[in-house]
Amino acid sequence: MPSNTLPTRERLREVRYEIRGDLARRARELESHGHKLIKLNIGNPGAFGFRAPEHLQRAIADHIHDTDPYTHQQGLPQAREALAAHYKARGTPHVTPDRIFVGNGVSELIDIALRALLNLGDEVLLPSPDYPLWSAATILNDGIPRYYSCRAENGFLPDPEEIERMIGPKTRALVLINPNNPTGASYPKPLLEKLVAIAAKYRLLLMADEIYDGILYDDHVFQPLAPLAGDVPCLTFSGLSKVHRACGWRVGWAVLSGDPLRTGDYHHALDLLGALRLCANVPGQFAIEAALKGGDTITPLTAPGGRLHASRQAVLDAVAKSDFLSVVAPQGALYAFPKIDTARLPEFDDYRFALDLLETEHVLIVPGSSFNVPYRDHFRVTLLPQADEISEVFRRIERSLSQYADRGGARQSA
């Protein structure tokens, strides 16, 4: 007999997004029973007391009477003009307002960009670890993710030779996340130049997720990809959510650069898909020009003495004192990706540990395997809490790991 269950898309079975998955659902259940949790699973600045800069808020308020109608599917003309000027000043080639697309956050634009590119069975080269939205969007747009390794022993940087060996006749795009989520790696210029050369050789689209481009620590420098790419087709993603702490406004953009003749059909495909969803959130778009032309409000947070710098240091100090943890110091972004010493805990499993930590210590982290890696000995935390709260979290983590070791690394959760 046919099932009464409403069928769903089969490829959803291949998609995982533990950042907001089963652990987050269990966290909500615990909260509903009155438990106070420390949640380090999402890079959501507003949830930790950060506010979008006042001049961005004022820009929206001053234009609220202009926000009722739909706007152009690619975004407000004045916002795209400001973005074109900003990226031209960075050295991005062939950048004009009509090659810029504003979306409801970078997430929507990633989905549209892959939908415009992929045919059934086309392959996308993704970093491992990756931000899992990239994998999900590739799968749900009938593509196949192929993962190149970014290993801790190499500072979580990719190996260009490995990437080149992975390219086949169905490879369509090379994705870079810089600065990286979840590892915090910042990609140096010589490495990016090698990756551009590979993309040029094999006629790949470069897709540069640069949403954390202004969040850097210890004098590390961000190198945008598009100026190095030149005529090589490149799509650069960024927005207001991280650097400008305005996640809930859902304002992102994608900048198409490279040879206009080679990218003409792709541009039209992006425009069509943008038109089908009518337009992006209009009120938030009035903050784009203010964000690009206003003062730098992120560096005071990431520089010594700043809140994000102090929280990052609290992670590094806690790991240095740990009997079980190591970490590659994040150079940018809002996360750390610690590793557990599996010589001490040979049967360690990241998901079981994350669930046990949630149940017993009321701390929510993200298992490292959620980021499409083949190992299960890492976890991700966000750097957004205050430094003292970070220190408390790692005291709880250390206590839980010590108990795990005392039990011989046996399974803790059913």
At position 290, the amino acid (one-letter code) is: A
* Contact present, 234 and 100 (Cβ < 8 Å): no
CA dist., res. 34 & res. 37, Å (int): 9
Helix and strand numbers, DSSP H then E, in the chain: 14, 15
For domain 10-51+300-406, which architecture applies?
Alpha-Beta Complex (3.90)
- Please give the average per-residue pLDDT across 269-276, as a whole number: 96
CA dist., res. 84 & res. 66, Å (int): 22
When pLDDT is cut at 50, 70 and 90, the band that residue 414 belongs to is very low
Q: Out of 3.40.50.2300, 3.20.20.105, 3.20.20.30, 3.40.640.10, select the CATH number for domain 64-293.
A: 3.40.640.10
Q: Give domain limits for the chain.
A: 10-51+300-406, 64-293
Query: What is the average pLDDT score of the chain?
Result: 94
Residue 79 has pLDDT above 90, yes or no: yes
- The pLDDT score that the predictor gives to residue 134 is 97
Residue 3 has pLDDT above 70, yes or no: no
Q: Which distant-in-sequence residues (6+ apart) come within 8 Å of 139 by Cβ?
A: 11, 14, 15, 145
At position 381, the amino acid (one-letter code) is: V
- The pLDDT score that the predictor gives to residue 6 is 81
Own/partner contacts of 305-310, CB < 8 Å, gap of 24 or more, are 307/386, 307/387, 308/215, 308/217, 308/334, 308/383, 308/384, 309/217, 310/386, 310/387
Q: Closest by alpha carbon to 150, among 411, 350, 382, 337? A: 337
**Segment 201-244, tens digit of pLDDT:** 999 999 999 999 999 999 899 999 999 999 999 999 999 999 99
φ/ψ of 270, rounded to 5, equals: -60, -40
406, exposed or middle or buried, with CB in 10 Å at 0-12, 13-18, 19+? exposed
* Contact present, 239 and 281 (Cβ < 8 Å): no
Residue 409 has pLDDT above 70, yes or no: no
When pLDDT is cut at 50, 70 and 90, the band that residue 289 belongs to is very high
> Kind of pairing, strands 363-364 and 38-39?
parallel
What tokens appear for 361 in the block? 């210590």
When pLDDT is cut at 50, 70 and 90, the band that residue 411 belongs to is very low
**Segment 91-125, tens digit of pLDDT:** 999 999 999 999 999 999 999 999 999 999 999 99
What CA dihedral angle connects 258, 262, 263 and 269, to 10 degrees? -170
What tokens appear for 85 in the block? 């000027």
pTM over 0.85: yes
CA dist., res. 260 & res. 241, Å (int): 29
Phi-psi region of 83 (alpha: psi -120 to 50; beta: other; left: phi over 0): alpha
- The pLDDT score that the predictor gives to residue 143 is 97
- The pLDDT score that the predictor gives to residue 13 is 80
**Segment 15-49, tens digit of pLDDT:** 776 666 788 889 899 989 999 999 999 899 999 99
Query: What residues pair up with 239 in beta bridges, in sequence order?
Result: 252
- Please give the average per-residue pLDDT across 133-156, as a whole number: 96
Residue 316 has pLDDT above 50, yes or no: yes
Helix, strand and coil in the chain, % to nearest 5: 45, 15, 40
CA dist., res. 7 & res. 10, Å (int): 8
**Segment 158-205, tens digit of pLDDT:** 999 999 999 999 999 999 999 999 999 999 999 999 999 999 999 999
